Chains A and B, each alone.
Chain A
Amino acid sequence: MIPDQLTHWLLGRFGVSSLPILPAIENPTTSELVAAGAALAVILGAIGGIAFITWLGAWRTLWRDWLTSTDHKRIGIMYVVLALVMMARGVLEGAVMRTQQAFGLNGGFLTPEHFSELFSTHGTIMIFFVAMPLIIGLANYIVPLQIGARDMSFPVMNQISLGLTATGAALVMISLLLGKFSTGGWTAYPPYTGYDFNPGPGPDYWIWSVALAGLGTTMSGINFAVTIFKERAPGMTLFRMPLFTWTVLCAAIIMVFALPPLTVATLMLAADRYLDFHFFTNDLGGNMMNYVNLFWLFGHPEVYLLVIPAYGVFSESIATFSGKRLYGYASLVYATMAIAVLSFTVWLHHFFTMGQSANVNIVFGIASMCIAVPTGVKIYDWMATIFRGRIRMTVPMIYALGFFYLFVIGGLTGVMLANPTISYQVHNTLFLVAHFHNVIIPGVVFGLLSGYHYWFPKAFGFRLHEGWGRLTALLWIFGFSFTFFPLYALGFMGMPRRSASYTDPAFEPLMLVAFFGAALIVSALGSIVIQLWVSVRERESLAVPLGDPWNGRTLEWATSSPPPHYNFAVLPQVEDRDDFADAKAKGRAYMEPDAYEDIVMPNNTSLGMIICVSSTLLGLALVFYIWWLAILATGVIAVAFIARTFVLSTTHVIPADVIAAEHRAWLAGVHAAGPITRDAETRSANHGLASLELPTLAGAER
């Protein structure tokens, strides 16, 4: 009895049965083998990662230059790496689900429970640990460069945000090894996820991974908003800001105001599960409909939070690869603001069928349709930007064209769904699945992947391989089309979403088409990996150290690639919208300043890592009811945080002569190099110095 109590005290409800490898040995069905294989992949991946870093001898570098860094560029890269790793898992899970449904007539190879776990992790991962970190990562890297700042306003908080996001991702990954993840979908509606119906660790994994990552995102939002309002270079008025920065500002405002409802909803659900509260229970006056309401108060602004920065990326890359000033800058800014505000007024369209009166539905239906208007404005602005431009069909442009065609279709099916009567008809069918993938993949994923390709040379000093990039883009475009267009038809035919199998043989042919599409998307994922591998191998011939490979228009291209720790030797004096294009045209780019000054930069700190590790332990402790560990981890976080406030010297100075030497070396490289024309942009002659080209007729609008 005593040892039992001790184990219970030490390990909570964690036990041998929490290891998913055991059922696979006892009962080797395909479903269990898939689960065990995924667990094995995590273990092998972790061992492989550790071995690789040891082989490189990079542990010190990893700790000193990356994990403890407060540099917004390093933090941005770490966000993107996290997102890409998680994307691999998310895409593979999607492919497994497509495979299951392709052979799911009267069965398939997965148990319904395993299928539920898959769509829950797939959704949670793709939204919280792929799309969000990709956006925050790109924004982290680019925004301070675009506004001519040295870093974010709060570099340490930035690091903590990354730590908390990584915590959430780590918990989702660990759930493959210890216990099981939630089967309640990415929205985790109670009462199904309440304690009465689901006492296991699954919903707790969901709650803590999402709640902790959500806190990190709120802090990111505060950080971006303050950075953009307060750290702009002299002369950079709000209406001279590049459009990507504008979209990040709007997204940041959404983060600040839309993440609180998520925090409230998840913590209320946690209170129900842990402390026997009755916010959302069936009995004693709980109201589960309030959860749905609170969740979508977050959820709808969230999807705009995802897509708005993608609009920003397209605005930058379309203007650059058309060699023109962005058409309708002000209308794009106002449209973005309008979308950001309207995004807070439409959440009810996610639950038209819940039972409220028709009048309530109508109000939110009309508000939802209104969002199509500013979005339409944007599409026309981008098309007008391309019109008669100096167009190069590079990877970001291929993504942009795919985005135009496909996103408009996704938007139009959104207008259909904004109509409550239609929503009733297709409620909970694959039509809905097709719709939101149709806006998220061509909108968010294409936008962010084109941003990855566009800004990669800025971050690493060499371009990504163009050929593999084009193949990736085409595989995504066709893969998406083959996977999700059949789902619209299947939805109309009555195939419910989240269903592991079906009995109507009429569904099967289209399911097989979707399966083929999924294979294309998996190939796209492979193609991204190969592209990165090939690009690293050929980095010498792809090098663009001078910093401006695409004849860029905004400030991030006005510094070397990769940029120095302090970004700009001297903070730029901004005179125009698209300031770098203006500077190149007027010959004020690449000038040596009269004098260099010392630069104060924030110190490294291990606070972010301490919080990351402790909060991961906290999450695990809460999932498995290991109370001593929960208290210990909370204590460590509190003490580390308070101890940090007693550190007064948090900055170091980079002396002016060091800066001068580095800057002069770069300028010497610029003056020695031969500028290249746009025709040579994707050849190895491109070292990152663009020759001035006369604007085309339509481009000479000023």
Chain B
Amino acid sequence: MSELNYQHEVRGYLTGFGLALLLTLVPFALTVWGGFGSVTTFVVLGGCALAQFVVQLRFFLHIDLRRQKREDLQLILFSILLLVIMAGGTIWIVGNLGMRMM
């Protein structure tokens, strides 16, 4: 393994770290100093979290769109699909019940 390769991969981790740092600072800053409406805040919070999720998957866990890695991506996407069905379904159902009990 050549030295160049090592540097290259270290840079990958550092890039990921930098992006993740940014995507952490924004939501914290927004919550502490922000004066936006709650809808805007929630959208930004969710967006930053999703983006950081992708960044960490890409730079720390090496999941990307290259063809030979498609199967790995499919495993994760399938899990996330089920997670969305289960967690989203739970929030929907229990939330709906809660509203009808008010």
In their complex, do chains A and B touch, with some C-beta pair under 8 Å? yes
Does A550 touch B at the CB level, under 8 Å?
no
B56-90, CB < 8 A from A: 79, 82, 85-86, 89-90
Question: Closest chain A residue to B99 by CB distance?
Answer: A357
Query: Cβ of B101: which chain A residues have Cβ within 8 Å of it?
Result: 355
Does B94 touch A at the CB level, under 8 Å?
yes
Does A348 touch B at the CB level, under 8 Å?
yes
Query: Cβ of B94: which chain A residues have Cβ within 8 Å of it?
Result: 287, 289-290, 293
From B79, B86, B100, give the contact of A355 (CB < 8 A). B100
Question: Closest chain B residue to A260 by CB distance?
Answer: B86
From A344, A345, A347, A354, give the contact of B97 (CB < 8 A). A354
Does A478 touch B at the CB level, under 8 Å?
no
Given that A257-B79, A355-B100 are contacting pairs, would A345 and B93 also be in contact in the complex, using a CB cutoff of 8 Å? no
Query: Cβ of A344: which chain B residues have Cβ within 8 Å of it?
Result: 82, 85-86
Query: Cβ of B97: which chain A residues have Cβ within 8 Å of it?
Result: 289, 354-356
A356 B93 Cβ-Cβ under 8 A: yes
Question: Closest chain A residue to B87 by CB distance?
Answer: A297
- A289 and B97 CA atoms in complex are apart in Å by 8
Does B28 touch A at the CB level, under 8 Å?
no
Question: Closest chain B residue to A257 by CB distance?
Answer: B82
User: Chain B, interface size: which category?
Assistant: 10 to 19
- A52 and B96 CA atoms in complex are apart in Å by 58
- A338 and B32 CA atoms in complex are apart in Å by 46
Q: Encode contact with B along A275-318: 1 for CB under 8 Å, 0 otherwise.
A: 00000000000010110011001000000000000000000000
- A293 and B98 CA atoms in complex are apart in Å by 13
Question: Closest chain B residue to A289 by CB distance?
Answer: B97
Query: Cβ of A355: which chain B residues have Cβ within 8 Å of it?
Result: 97, 100-101
B86 A360 Cβ-Cβ under 8 A: no
Q: Which of B79, B82, B98, B101 has the most CB of A within 10 A?
A: B82
Question: Closest chain A residue to B94 by CB distance?
Answer: A290
B96 A297 Cβ-Cβ under 8 A: no
Q: Encode contact with B along A332-371: 1 for CB under 8 Å, 0 otherwise.
A: 0000000000001101100000111100100000000000
A294 B90 Cβ-Cβ under 8 A: yes
Given that A257-B79, A355-B100 are contacting pairs, would A360 and B93 also be in contact in the complex, using a CB cutoff of 8 Å? yes
B61 to chain A, nearest CB (A): 18
Chain A contact surface mostly: helix
Does B53 touch A at the CB level, under 8 Å?
no
Does B92 touch A at the CB level, under 8 Å?
yes
Does A37 touch B at the CB level, under 8 Å?
no
A290 B90 Cβ-Cβ under 8 A: yes
Query: Cβ of B98: which chain A residues have Cβ within 8 Å of it?
Result: 287
Does A261 touch B at the CB level, under 8 Å?
yes
B90 A356 Cβ-Cβ under 8 A: no
A257 to chain B, nearest CB (A): 5
A605-637, CB < 8 A from B: none
Query: Cβ of A261: which chain B residues have Cβ within 8 Å of it?
Result: 86
A249 to chain B, nearest CB (A): 13
Question: Closest chain B residue to A290 by CB distance?
Answer: B94
B96 A356 Cβ-Cβ under 8 A: yes
A297 B86 Cβ-Cβ under 8 A: yes
- A257 and B78 CA atoms in complex are apart in Å by 10
B21 to chain A, nearest CB (A): 31
From B79, B85, B86, B100, give the contact of A356 (CB < 8 A). B100
- A261 and B86 CA atoms in complex are apart in Å by 9
- A294 and B100 CA atoms in complex are apart in Å by 20
- A257 and B80 CA atoms in complex are apart in Å by 11
Query: Cβ of A294: which chain B residues have Cβ within 8 Å of it?
Result: 90
- A355 and B95 CA atoms in complex are apart in Å by 12
Query: Cβ of B93: which chain A residues have Cβ within 8 Å of it?
Result: 293, 348, 356, 360
- A660 and B12 CA atoms in complex are apart in Å by 52
Query: Cβ of B89: which chain A residues have Cβ within 8 Å of it?
Result: 293, 297, 347-348
- A392 and B82 CA atoms in complex are apart in Å by 43
From B85, B86, B90, B96, give the contact of A357 (CB < 8 A). B96
B26-60, CB < 8 A from A: none
- A347 and B79 CA atoms in complex are apart in Å by 18
A297 B90 Cβ-Cβ under 8 A: yes
B74 to chain A, nearest CB (A): 12
- A91 and B63 CA atoms in complex are apart in Å by 50
Query: Cβ of A293: which chain B residues have Cβ within 8 Å of it?
Result: 89-90, 93-94
Top 8 A-B residue pairs of the complex, sorted by shortest distance between their CB atoms:
A356-B96, A257-B82, A356-B97, A290-B94, A289-B97, A360-B96, A297-B86, A344-B85
13 contacts between A and B (CB under 8 A): A257-B79, A287-B94, A287-B98, A290-B94, A293-B90, A297-B86, A297-B89, A344-B86, A347-B89, A356-B100, A357-B100, A360-B92, A360-B96
8 extra A-B contacts, CB within 8 A, seeds A297-B90, A356-B96, A357-B96: A257-B82, A289-B94, A290-B90, A290-B94, A293-B90, A293-B94, A345-B85, A348-B93
